[in-house]
Structure 1
């Protein structure tokens, strides 16, 4: 970790206490379990998307049961992808609130974060049903290309940078909401929701890309999780965002011009 990271409230790895190491290990273990569950729960219909060939529409039919199943799988996916990325943030918050002698704030903090992504799953369900209605054809590839173009453009947007700065800095969040954390678990839950909101602002476009290539495709999940982690942890996150934006935009342009590269033949 650099001095810049410490200025954001994220302590150097070399300075982590034994308790902080255990906390990080717990978060990463939960992420590992979530990855395993993602592999077990992954339905064929959710391993494919607009750009990779839609699966059966049976799972995407209306009704509470398919929706509940999707939402449960979605939360597991988000835990798998996001918990490693927020581990440095959580350690930073732990150290910053420790001086206020407040215990038990980290579970509701993480819960608040996951609640935001659970709410995002409701929107993701509607998007996925829309994608499923399109099917897989040259037209669907063009729709997927537009998704890539929008996601790529968003990586260069001021809103993305604004959310990313706040998502990366536990110091700014605790300075603003520290009193709420100290007052109790409800306050910590609210801070987790705030942090989740900033993270959603950073990553919503990438999640739509994931839906377009296959929400439960473990390879694409791993690629996007690695990118998200780099954006949150590396000192020059804007370089990662710009490179990602260029790749997504380039891929979108290519598929918009030549959808036959991915559309079914014949």
Structure 2
């Protein structure tokens, strides 16, 4: 970690206590378990999206017949797999900044569960979007790829907006969260859960474009999950997040423009 990281509330790795290393290890073990579970329960037809080529989700609707409940359950596990590594330094930073008497396990669990609850609720919207993509895929592979290209263009453009930067700053800074909401988080697990939801809201505002790309590329593809999770983690953890965000944005804009003008590159 750098001085910049320490300044926003994330302590240097060398300054982490044994308890903080244990907390980080626990979060990463949970993330690893979630990756394993996702690989087991992911529906095969949902590993491909509208950007993958000809009618990846069309034709056989059996994959979607599992319904909303199973999709959201799988989505919750996916969000744990993708987001827990990204929020590990943040959670350690929050623990460091909270008053000594309030750094309880229940408070930290409440913060984490509140954060994941927001991403889990987003699964309802994700299900609707995926069903819409499924309908688009039935219209033909060229239409599907062009629709996916529009998703890339929108997501890439969002990376350059002031709202993206505003959410990213708040999503990265434990210091800002504790200064604004520390007393509420310190009251107990209920208050911590509410504060965790606030943090999750900032993160959704920061990362929804990248998650839309995942829906178009293959919502349950382990490869694309890893790519998007890596991009999100880099923005949240490493220095110069705005530069990284602009690089992702430029890449998405370029890929979206190419696929929109030449869908035949993947459509058949």
* TM-fit CA distance, 1:58: 1.9
Matches of 1:252 and 1:205 in 2, distance apart?
A: 13
Q: How does 1:23-62 map to 2 (within 5 A)?
A: 23-53=23-53, 54-55=56-57, 56-61=60-65
Partner of 1:87: 88
* TM-fit CA distance, 1:102: 4.3
- Report the number of matched residues: 261
Partner of 2:21: 21
1:237 and 2:241 correspond: yes
Matches of 1:46 and 1:93 in 2, distance apart?
A: 36
State the 4+ residue runs in structure 1 displaced beyond 3 angstroms: none
Partner of 1:212: 216
Q: If the length of structure 1 is used for normalisation, what is the TM-score? A: 0.96
* TM-fit CA distance, 1:12: 0.4
1:133 and 2:135 correspond: yes
Matches of 1:76 and 1:101 in 2, distance apart?
A: 28
The SS at the match of 1:59 is: helix
Matches of 2:15 and 2:103 in 1, distance apart?
A: 21
The SS at the match of 1:263 is: coil
Matches of 2:46 and 2:206 in 1, distance apart?
A: 23
Matches of 2:8 and 2:122 in 1, distance apart?
A: 27
- Candidates 187, 203, 220, aligned match of 1:183: 187
Partner of 1:227: 231
* TM-fit CA distance, 1:176: 0.3
Partner of 2:203: 199
Task: Give yes or no for contact 1:34–1:76 (8 Å, CA) kept in 2.
Answer: yes
- Candidates 133, 143, 164, aligned match of 2:147: 143
The SS at the match of 2:48 is: coil
- Candidates 239, 256, 262, aligned match of 1:258: 262
Structure 1, residues 53-85: CA drift from partner, whole Å, max 9, x if none? 423322324xxx511100010011111000000
Matches of 1:205 and 1:57 in 2, distance apart?
A: 26
Partner of 1:114: 116
Task: Give yes or no for contact 1:49–1:212 (8 Å, CA) kept in 2.
Answer: yes
Structure 1, residues 102-127: CA drift from partner, whole Å, max 9, x if none? 42201111110011011110000000
Alignment RMSD: 1.1
Task: Give yes or no for contact 1:35–1:80 (8 Å, CA) kept in 2.
Answer: yes
Gaps in structure 2 of 5+ consecutive residues = none
Which deviates further from its counterpart, 201-210 or 94-103? 94-103
Matches of 2:62 and 2:267 in 1, distance apart?
A: 22
Q: If the length of structure 2 is used for normalisation, what is the TM-score? A: 0.95
The 1:143–1:101 alpha-carbon spacing in structure 2 relative to 1, beyond 3 Å, is: closer
Matches of 1:83 and 1:198 in 2, distance apart?
A: 15
Task: Give yes or no for contact 1:45–1:57 (8 Å, CA) kept in 2.
Answer: no
1:156 and 2:157 correspond: no
Matches of 2:249 and 2:150 in 1, distance apart?
A: 13
The SS at the match of 2:63 is: coil
* TM-fit CA distance, 1:181: 1.1
Partner of 1:105: 107
* TM-fit CA distance, 1:101: 3.6
